[in-house]
Structure 1
Amino acid sequence: MFKRLLAIMAISAFTLTNVSAQTKDEKAVADAVETLRKAMVSADKATLESITLDQLTYGHSSGKLEDKKTFVENITNGNSHFLDITLTDQTITVVKETAIVRHKLSANTDDKGKGPRKVELYILLVWQKNGGKWKLLARQAVKVNS
């Protein structure tokens, strides 16, 4: 009986580990998301430019759309100034060379002329593998209803 219980526990542990384990691509996408988050907070122009594709379309919850150049400019000149960003409830789905990421973004911002405020958004990111690296192709935000 004891051996049977140990066997069941071992099989259960193995199954749970496999269900929650990320694939190599999912891990690489998660790392890219984290790199993007840090670059947005630190306004790191070089990283923002290197992790985004030239065809980037960046949608705000207000409906405003930005291309890559405008997105990078607004982060680095303080028009979109993030004091901090926390991401939760993240899911990653990889289909060949494309990845879809969804998460909740909670942040404190101090955008030029708007003063400090708290932002809570649901985010959809589309990443594309380009030259072996994951790069952001599209982003859309939606306001969280309280």
Structure 2
Amino acid sequence: MITWRLEKINNQYFLKMNNQKSIKLPMLFRPSVILTLVSIFCFSLLSAQSDDKNVAKIEKTVTELYKAMVDKNKAILQDLTMDELTYGHSSGTIENKAEYVDGVLNGAFQFTEITPKDQTISISGKVGVVRHIFEAKGTNNGKPADVRIGCLLIFQKEGGGWKLLARQAYKL
């Protein structure tokens, strides 16, 4: 049976096998270095799991926001957007929160369906960045209309949820 023993002599670490000659360990294999590396590895695993949960929460928030736009649900629209919202249309028009909510509820375009395509979500601290192709069906001044534009959404974490802080659409 092979046995290994770690010895510390004069602040240097040695590995001894079966009571044979000791092998001096390089700095990388010292217990404090190993502990630090293991801690960093564990923290990065926890952080990755946290990001996965936040990505799922943001994805759910996008779905809820678009459903609220179709349903014209004022309470949900207000709840899922920050007071500082800046909402940019592909035409160049910029709206604040009140203008955005009013536009959804009373504007010329009435959504019947909104579908995000090719969506990507990334997280950086308390900020989530969403990119997708915004495809929608509805009516514009009573006439059937389809929309297909690029969209960038910025969400900010507030409490346990995510709220829309900025949106910019662009023509494809």
The normalised TM-score by structure 2 is 0.68
- Is the counterpart of residue 128 in structure 1 residue 156 in structure 2? yes
Supply the RMSD in Å over aligned alpha carbons: 1.5
**Mean Cα deviation higher: 22-31 or 131-140:** 22-31
Cα distance in 1 between the residues matched to 2:141 and 2:74:
18
Cα distance in 1 between the residues matched to 2:138 and 2:107:
10
Cα distance in 2 between the residues matched to 1:80 and 1:119:
10
Cα distance in 1 between the residues matched to 2:94 and 2:167:
10
- Is the counterpart of residue 116 in structure 1 residue 153 in structure 2? no
For 1:116, what is the secondary structure of its paired residue? strand
Cα distance in 2 between the residues matched to 1:49 and 1:80:
19
- Is the counterpart of residue 65 in structure 1 residue 94 in structure 2? yes
The alpha carbon displacement at 1:116 in A equals: 1.7
For 2:133, what is the secondary structure of its paired residue? strand
Cα distance in 2 between the residues matched to 1:137 and 1:26:
16
The alpha carbon displacement at 1:109 in A equals: 2.3
The answer for unaligned runs of 5 or more in structure 1 is 1-21
Q: Which has the higher strand share?
A: 2
Cα distance in 1 between the residues matched to 2:152 and 2:82:
16
Which is greater in Rg?
2
- Is the counterpart of residue 81 in structure 1 residue 110 in structure 2? yes
The alpha carbon displacement at 1:134 in A equals: 0.1
The answer for unaligned runs of 5 or more in structure 2 is 1-50
Cα distance in 2 between the residues matched to 1:55 and 1:80:
23
Identity %: 44
Aligned to 1:106: 135
The Cα offsets for residues 37-68 of structure 1, whole Å up to 9 and x where unpaired, read as 10111111000000000000000000000000
Q: Which has the higher contact order (CA 8 A, sep 6+)?
A: 1
The alpha carbon displacement at 1:139 in A equals: 0.3
Cα distance in 2 between the residues matched to 1:106 and 1:27:
21
Amino acid across the alignment from 1:142: Y
The normalised TM-score by structure 1 is 0.80
